[in-house]
Structure 1
Amino acid sequence: MTMLAMAVLGLALLPLTMTILNLPFYRAPRGRLPAGSAVSVLIPARNEEATIARALDAALANRDVALEVVVLDDHSTDRTADIVRAYAARDPRVRLEGAPPLPPGWSGKQHACQALADLARHDILLFQDADVRLAPDAVGRAAGFLVASGAGLASGFPRQETGTLAEALVVPQIHTLLLGYLPMAGLRFTRHPGFGAACGQFILVRRDAYERAGGHVAIKRSLHDGVTLPRAFRRVGIATRLFDATDLATCRMYRGFAEVWDGFSKNATEGMATPVALPVWTVLLGGGHILPWLLLLAGLVWPLPAEALSAAAAGALATTSLRIGLALRFRQSLAGALLHPAGVATMLAIQWNALLRARRGRPATWRGRAYPSG
């Protein structure tokens, strides 16, 4: 039991140590876009009447940068197109375009983003989700960072708003995984595809690099552009960068347990939920974030060696400190941080369910479309 507890302590210290090493590489952009540059803000929208007006207001409020905002109505059945059309009538920077029919073999978002890239007039493209709200200086700072870095793609993780306990438990795990398990030095100093990471909510690209990487055509089947798009760039030798967008943008990904479950399930098999990767992730996450607490609870029922209890307590302290630190740094729910083991357990349950669903040949569904696994 003592050896198990020591192993658990090691698994708990791993993400804490990695986060400490990663934070110097994960900073908010401070650059400014060179004079004469312009940005195309590209928003794919499918049934987004509840969010599109706020997204447009925020994008158009950006100052000190020349921009256009192109919204692609992806066959919405609500008032999305009418809302955008009203904005376009009073602001020439806004354009409403209609999505072509979805061809076989494409996911809806990737097809919409490729269509938007083809329609864009400028050479810096900012792809943002319709539920993202940009800060007034976001476009200039993010595009300036892209240009100054020399990368072909740069992406940032917006501040993630959560309104229910399910959201607070699961959505912040994005930062746990990103900072706790991805070596940022590898992302910064190599172009190996394995270090590719981005946030599909907020991605900027240089047009020349985008076309060289194959654009969204290269990932046309993907439901997880946050992984697959930067890897497509890196496969052809183009650098990608990542920055902290907490102060640049805000997004509420999902609303309630059902959307959290479905949203994280749809692209799970392109990330953690593979037959090879998920057992490893289960050991890393279950062993480092859940098992310390289970050992402490077991110590209340059965006599355990003092060394085992001390190691389990140190592991629990390490993961709790990590989550509270991340919650404070990225303005996340403290309740979700204190219930961190339940959040990790929920995330692993989503991943295992997605893997088993894929093995049974059941398609992922999102926005009224079904996407067969594989």
Structure 2
Amino acid sequence: GWVGKVHACHQLAQQATGELLLFVDADTRLKPGAVAALRGVGADVATAFPEQVLGSVGEALVVSLLHLTYTSWLPLALIPRTSAASVLAANGQVLWVTRAAYDRIGGFEAVRDAVVDDMAFCTRAKRLGLRVDFVPGQDLASCRMYGSGAEAWRGFSKNLVPGLGHPVLVGIVAALYAVCFVLPWVAWPVAAGPALAGMGANLLQRALLAARFRLPAVTVVGHLLSALAFLGILVTSARWTAAGTLRWRGRTYAAHGGAA
């Protein structure tokens, strides 16, 4: 069956008559010049990571994990330079696609049962040999993804494990976060030197991210809580996926896609 957002985008595309299509989430607000900037990227498909509006401490601690993830592990500069579908990041808050590319992909109908639809859409585009890009969106749009920290936890839990896909990758990501972002803070009693170096590196990275993306100071001083939240979200997402159901805003979806 169809997942709700994907079906809505499919219907919008059917009504559109232009050669360039721009899909944005309902809570995303475009900034002046955004359309011209996206057009200038020169990609068949491009997604952008907007300025994230954070209305609470909980939102800041959870949503800032996106900034940490994008800058820590993902080779963003390589996305448009390689046809490998595994080299990919996507953000459906802002999705730009030419009509020719959209039709070649098969539109949203081709990913109609995808819960993590942005990754599914862009993965299909790459496999078809289309040029896909992921661009900074700080000056293109703004978005408040969630209304609270609890809602952010649930939203990330819905997407995390399905987005990673393979159980081995889930394990690798869990290990990376635990070793790089949590271990230094618990290891200092037995290995003070390396632990302090790791803690300093964590805080420096967070401070640089706060400056670059205009994030609140709590994302720096609350780094450990944020990293622990990521591991908790990963466990929640794994439980939901193993149970075969993902919960979001009063609906239950099958973990493989579609409404349960």
1:285 CA displacement: 0.6
Match of 1:365 in 2: 247
Residues 154, 240 of structure 1: 8 Å contact kept: yes
Pair 1:108-2:4 in alignment: yes
Match of 2:93 among 194, 201, 205: 201
1:161 CA displacement: 0.8
For residues 37-116 of structure 1, what are the structure 2 equivalents within 5 Å?
Answer: 105-116=1-12
Match of 1:14 in 2: none
DSSP-derived class of the 1:176 partner = helix
Distance in 2 (alpha carbons) for counterparts of 1:190 and 1:217: 25
Pair 1:266-2:162 in alignment: no
Match of 2:212 among 329, 347, 352: 329
Deviation string for 1:163-188 (max 9, x for gaps)?
A: 11110101011111112101124313
Match of 2:83 among 170, 183, 191: 191
Q: TM-score, normalised by structure 1?
A: 0.66
Match of 1:289 among 181, 186, 189: 181
DSSP-derived class of the 2:86 partner = helix
Instruction: Identify unmatched segments of 5+ residues in structure 2.
Output: none
1:291 CA displacement: 0.5
Residues 272, 351 of structure 1: 8 Å contact kept: no
Match of 1:138 in 2: 34
Distance in 2 (alpha carbons) for counterparts of 1:204 and 1:231: 14
Match of 1:234 in 2: 126
DSSP-derived class of the 1:266 partner = helix
Match of 1:15 in 2: none
The one-letter code sitting in structure 2 at the alignment partner of 1:348 is: L
Bigger relative contact order, structure 1 or 2 (CA pairs below 8 A, ≥6 apart) = 2
Tell me how large the CA RMSD over aligned residues is. Answer: 1.5
1:144 CA displacement: 2.6
Residues 48, 90 of structure 2: 8 Å contact kept: yes
Structure 1 stretches of 4+ with a deviation exceeding 4 A read: none
1:340 CA displacement: 1.1
Identity %: 37
DSSP-derived class of the 2:167 partner = coil
Residues 62, 153 of structure 2: 8 Å contact kept: no
1:158 CA displacement: 0.4
Distance in 1 (alpha carbons) for counterparts of 2:101 and 2:210: 35
- Larger-gyration structure (1/2): 1
Using a 3 Å threshold, how does the CA distance of structure 1 residues 290 and 367 change in structure 2: closer, same or farther? same
1:353 CA displacement: 1.1
Match of 1:278 among 170, 179, 187: 170
Residues 273, 354 of structure 1: 8 Å contact kept: no
DSSP-derived class of the 1:290 partner = helix
The one-letter code sitting in structure 1 at the alignment partner of 2:46 is: A
Using a 3 Å threshold, how does the CA distance of structure 1 residues 275 and 231 change in structure 2: closer, same or farther? same
Pair 1:353-2:224 in alignment: no
Distance in 2 (alpha carbons) for counterparts of 1:179 and 1:250: 19
Match of 2:201 in 1: 318
Match of 1:30 in 2: none
1:270 CA displacement: 1.8
1:257 CA displacement: 2.4
Residues 153, 203 of structure 1: 8 Å contact kept: yes
Q: TM-score, normalised by structure 2?
A: 0.93
**How many residues are paired up?**
256
Distance in 1 (alpha carbons) for counterparts of 2:206 and 2:46: 26
1:273 CA displacement: 6.9
Match of 2:105 in 1: 213
Distance in 1 (alpha carbons) for counterparts of 2:237 and 2:37: 37
Instruction: Identify unmatched segments of 5+ residues in structure 1.
Output: 1-104
